[in-house]
Structure 1
Amino acid sequence: MKESRLFFILYHLVANRTVTAGQLADKLDVSVRTIYRDVERLCEAGIPVYTTSGRHGGLALVEGYTLDSVLFSSEEKRTILASLQSLDATQEPGHEVVVEKLSALFGDQEDSWLEVDFSGWGSRELDNRKFNMVRDAVINHRVLEIEYCNSKGEQDIRMLEPLQMLYKARAWYLKAYCRTNGGFRLFKLSRILSAKAVGRQVEKKCYPAPSPTEHETPYTTFILRFSAVMAYRVYDEFDATSVQKEKDGTLLVTTCWPYDSWVAGYVLSFGPSVTVVEPQCLRDEIHEMAKKLCELYKT
């Protein structure tokens, strides 16, 4: 508590230049004597606090003083500012004010190191608006009514209690309690077609941690051979340790996925530049899909 009080006093001295001991005592709910003892500790730590008399007198810092290595090293100050600037990536309200105040406090101005755009190509305004709405619902515990398209292409209206946003495998998800279906669910943000806040949650729920055996999905090993022209996508979408470059320039990828309905469609997105080596069941599935595509485009 003492350390927090000292930092509070120091912040007010930097921000306001002059403040009375009585004002600080009122804000911190301590005696004026305690404030003067705290000021003595700050002086002992090398922070130049002095008193001024007169109508506008009080406690003040030496003109031009900034926080130096007394409290934070240069690396620590850079880390704090860089971390706060990363709030810009989530468009957190008020982050600019916090960064500005701490920059003044540290006597340093850190260049922004990170820029994140949550939108897809060509849909910036819509995607960012949706992201901000979902984020605000999580922070403010607002119930969301969404129109959602599931992995089977079915669209319906869901009433959700949003709990947390998750970024995983190059995609954003929403952890939520689904009032419509009566259970905890994970919703992919790109499949939320529309959303609106409709009220406040009655109580805050916690998304359950998965148990080692609960909802286990069996994984299948897939071996795929890509032509060299697909190298840009292969290294974008697969771990480099799973890629083996062959003498002829082709890329052999060994990976594990749950064998679901999306797998064949994903592999087909590479067109004729990929060959399924294993498993045979996927080769058969793609063969059947290819025959149907030939019939569809025959005329």
Structure 2
Amino acid sequence: MQINRLFEIIYILLNKNITTAKELAERFEVSVRTIYRDIDTLSSAGIPIYASQGKGGGISLMDSFVLNKSILSDKEQNEILFALQSLTVTQNPETDRVLSKISSLFNKSNMNWIEVDLSPWGSDKNNISQFTVLKDAILNRQIIEFSYFNAFGEKSSRKVEPVKLLFKIKVWYLQGFCLSKNEFRTFKISRMSDIRVTQHFFTTRSPEAQPEIQNVKSAQKQIDLQLQIAPQGAYRVFDEFNEKDITRNEDGSFTIVTALPEGEWLFHYILSFGTDIEVLAPQNIREIIQSKLDEMIGKYKKTIT
């Protein structure tokens, strides 16, 4: 509490030429004697703060003082401010207030170098609200309830102690302890609906009780693939594959040699490139893709009555 009060006192003095011990005592609801002890503490720390007697007297700082001259280097100040700005992702109402105060203490402005938004581009208000609800539940340690569709389309009701939001392979996940299954689980946020924050709070489980939660795809068998992507698909090539796996061909196309997790999702992923992609190897994947394309064509050959 005292440290917070000391920073508040410096902030007040930086934004006000002079104040009195009585005014500070009333503001912080402490005694005048406590304020003078705080002034002594700040002076001992090298802060050029002084008190003057008589009419018009009071407590003030030297006019040239900014915090960087007595405690932190310019680099250290920037690191603190950058860290605070990145924390705006939490949308904690205290963050902006603290950032404003620290910026003033360091006599720095125009530090708005980063903005972190948990929601994807094009998100509607519901998507953004969903992330805010989950974030608040994690920070407040409140149990949440929601409906969840698994990979087979089966719906279930879940009650979870939320621990962490995770962004993996362009997808957002929620990690937490599922009370319904009595174990740690990872949930794909896009499959969650009817999210409700309960009034039941939980105690964070010990690190020893939290196994490393792996993304489902990382535990699956990997398939070695050789892909060719047309020039018009270049906008996805460098977004979705490692540069070391990409070879640019003379005709502008790209050859990619990579490994992707096995499963039905792989075929949907390949087909999402439309006519811009061709699987060069292995042969069995080519045949499965051809079979799925034949099935799709068959559906469109049917006459709708």
Q: Same fold (TM over 0.5)?
A: yes
Tell me, yes or no, if the aligned pair for 2:185 and 2:213 is still in contact at 8 Å: no
Shift of 1:98: 0.9
Q: Does structure 2 conserve the Cα–Cα contact (< 8 Å) formed by 1:13 and 1:60?
A: no
Distance 2:160 2:225 in 1: 36
Alpha-carbon distance in 1 for matches of 2:43, 2:145: 56
Question: Match for residue 11 of structure 2?
Answer: 14
Q: 1:157 to 1:100 in 2, by over 3 A?
A: same
Amino acid at match of 1:231: A
Which stretch shifts more, 148-157 or 236-245? 148-157
Q: Pick one of 253, 256, 265 that aligns with 1:250.
A: 253
5 Å-filtered alignment, 1:30-41, equals 38-41=41-44
SS at match of 1:203: coil
Amino acid in structure 2 at the alignment position of 1:96: D
Partner of 2:300: 297
Q: How many angstroms apart in 2 are the aligned matches of 1:182 and 1:242?
A: 41
Give the direction of change, closer, same or farther, for the CA distance of 1:293–1:65 in structure 2 (3 Å limit): same
In structure 2, do the counterparts of structure 1 residues 274 and 36 end up closer, same or farther at CA, with 3 Å as the change threshold?
A: closer
Aligned partner letter, 2:238? Y
State the shift of 1:73 in Å: 1.9
| Residue 155 to residue 55, structure 1, CA distance change in 2 (3 Å) | farther
Change (3 A) 1:39 1:100: closer
1:123 aligned residue = 123
Distance 1:6 1:38, change over 3 A: farther
Q: In the alignment, which residue of structure 1 is the partner of 2:228?
A: 225
Aligned to 1:112: 112
Structure-2 separation of matches of 1:263 and 1:193: 25
Q: Residues 37-82 of structure 1, C-alpha deviation per residue, up to 9 Å, x if partnerless?
A: 534423xx3x322122359965432246321332122222222222
Q: Aligned pair in 2 of structure 1 residues 7, 175: CA closer, same or farther (>3 Å)?
A: closer
Unaligned runs of 5+ in 1: none
TM-score of the superposed pair, with normalisation by structure 2: 0.82
Rounded Cα–Cα distance in structure 2 between residues aligned with 1:35 and 1:276: 71
Supply the AA of the counterpart residue of 2:248: K
In the alignment, the residues of structure 1 paired with residue 30 and residue 257 of structure 2 have an alpha-carbon distance, to the nearest angstrom, of: 63
* Matched residue type, 2:147: E
User: 2: CA distance between counterparts of 1:113 and 1:161?
Assistant: 34
Q: Give the partner amino acid of 1:142.
A: Q
Q: Distance in 1 between matches of 2:94 and 2:40?
A: 34
| TM-score between the two structures when normalised by the length of structure 1 | 0.83
Which segments of 5 or more consecutive residues in structure 2 lack a partner in the other structure? none
Instruction: Kindly indicate whether residue 289 of structure 2 is the aligned counterpart of residue 286 of structure 1.
Output: yes
Whether 1:87 and 2:90 are equivalent positions in the alignment is no
| CA distance in 2: counterparts of 1:220 and 1:265, whole angstroms | 15
C-alpha distance in 1, partners of 2:281/2:52?
A: 81
SS in structure 1 of the partner of residue 204 of structure 2: coil
| Corresponding position of 1:269 | 272
Q: Which moved more, 1:82-91 or 1:223-232?
A: 82-91
- Are the equivalent residues in 1 in contact too, given 2:161–2:202 (CA < 8 A)? no
Aligned equivalents of 1:270, 1:148: Cα separation in 2: 28
Does the aligned pair in 2 maintain the 1:146–1:159 contact within 8 Å? Answer: yes
* Partners of 2:7 and 2:116 in 1: CA distance: 34
Q: CA deviation at 1:94?
A: 2.1
**Are the structure 2 counterparts of residues 176 and 108 from structure 1 closer, same or farther at C-alpha, using a change threshold of 3 Å?**
same
Trace 1:198-237 onto structure 2 (pairs within 5 A): 198-205=198-205, 206=207, 207-209=210-212, 216-237=219-240
Whichever residue aligns with residue 291 of structure 1, its letter is D
